[in-house]
Amino acid sequence: MTVFEASTGSGETPPADAVAPRDSSADAPTSVARLNATIRDFVARWNTVWVEGEITSWNVRGGNIFARLKDTRSDAQISIRVWSSVRPRIPGDLAVGDHVVAAVKADYFVKAGDFSFAVSAMKHVGLGDQLEKLEKLRLQLRQEGLFDPARKKRLPFLPHVIGLITSEKSDAEKDVHRNAELRWPQVRFRTEYAAVQGDRCVPETLAALARLDADPDVDVIVIARGGGDPQTLLGFSDERLVRAVAAASTPIVSAIGHENDHPLLDDVADLRASTPTDAAKRVVPDVSEQRALIAQLRSRATTRLTQRLSHDIAQLEQLRSRPSLRSPDPIIESRSQDVWLLLSRGRDTIRRQHDAAGRATSELRASLRALSPAATLSRGYAIAHLDGGVILRDAADAPAGSGLTITVDRGSIAARSEGEIEEAPVPRSG
């Protein structure tokens, strides 16, 4: 502590450092240093207090944080300092716009005459338990597969009607309409208004989602709102809304807050857009880009077709230049003589084979005729048959009175056996 000592004689004006602020006058003023030291000593006796407010500025310099807190119901503000030694004890995601409570102690800098508060602790208002519950719910939904990329539906290339869920007359609605119409002027919207924070947020959003999902003309649904602190975005992490989005048959785009905002709706939606403007750019194509792409494709197709035609014409000209196509008559005439010779040779070969086959057939016919029983009969022989067509081979089989059929060269005659004839002995030559 600075010590101020009086060193004046009787009847002399004391130096400014020797005059306490409460004893100062126009003739005996106090010094700035004495005034600041008095203020510092007075402020140092204040205890630490907990204060609630909204962060309006947040600057990091040299490891320390210099920020300002604004009252949530008025324009009153205070300056706060978070020293580097305290930073590890406060949440690392604090940012401008966050609603917080902080433990602060008044601090007055004598040299600069600045009044501020040193922060010893800080946390989000009411978000501790809620954030813990959200993380548990996030883990549960992930385990159920609701965040699986495989279940996410693809957005249509050019939707006929875009369903939009947002608050009425909001900047998010204007951003989506303006940017989508700039990219594709003929785009059509069906907008359902709903509260985007507070107790009405979840039921109104669920009702709007059900109406749009049931409309067969709506090809994609965008749920959009501007940024905000985590407290105001809690409705878009509600389990009822998250499960309804997962069960919807229409592709859904989440466009909640800014890039750093991350409600559960972002994880379950078929597409997460960083902002409402980004959502508008991703649900409809850019007409100028599509026209440029069509022109490029037409140019490429024309080039490929021209190259193909040129190649085919060159091949055709090459084929036409060959002797076989340029003058085919000599080739045909030379081949016709070969055909005539082959035809004549074939006819001679067939004729010789036919004659040889005829002779072989005649020989076989003669051999067959010679071996045939009919040929034997023609030489004067006869065949005797018993009743029933059995050929008589033994005279003993035809006793006297047996009926016989005698077959000769020309016809058959009926006869009756007189019995077996004794064979006369054959005379022997002397």
In this prediction, residue 21 carries a pLDDT of 75
pLDDT at 405: 87
The model's confidence at residue 259, banded by pLDDT at 50, 70 and 90, is: low
Q: Which residue has the higher pLDDT, 303 or 372?
A: 303
Instruction: Give tens-digit pLDDT for 329-371.
Output: 777 777 888 888 899 999 999 999 999 999 999 888 888 877 7
Q: Work out the pLDDT band at 284, boundaries 50, 70, 90.
A: very high
Percentage of the chain lying above the pLDDT 70 cut: 92
Angle between helix axes 201-214 and 239-247 (nearest 10 degrees) is 10
Model pLDDT for residues 226-241, shown as the tens digit of each residue: 877 666 788 898 999 9
pLDDT digits (tens, 9 = 90+) for 55-83: 888 999 988 999 999 988 888 888 999 99
- Position 128 scores a pLDDT of 60
Buried b (16+ CB within 10 A) or exposed e, 372-400: eeeeeeeeeeeebebeeeeebeeeeebee
Query: For residue 62, is it left (φ>0), alpha (ψ between -120 and 50) or beta?
Result: left
Please check the confidence at residue 95 and state whether its pLDDT lies above 70: yes
Residue 424 pLDDT greater than 70, yes or no: no
Which pLDDT belongs to residue 5?
Answer: 52
User: 326 pLDDT exceeds 80?
Assistant: no
**pLDDT 10s digits, 372-388:** 777 777 777 888 888 87
User: Is residue 306 pLDDT above 90, yes or no?
Assistant: yes
Top pLDDT among 62 and 24 is at 62
- Tell me the pLDDT of the chain averaged across its residues: 85
429 pLDDT higher than 60: no
What is the rounded average pLDDT of the residues 267-283? 92
Instruction: Tell me what percent of the residues of the chain surpass a pLDDT of 90.
Output: 38
**Of the listed ranges 91-95, 185-189, 190-194, 209-213, the one predicted with least confidence:** 91-95
The yes-or-no verdict on residue 19 having pLDDT over 90 is no
Of the ranges 95-99, 135-139, 324-328, the best mean pLDDT one: 135-139
What is the pLDDT, as a whole number, of residue 11? 55
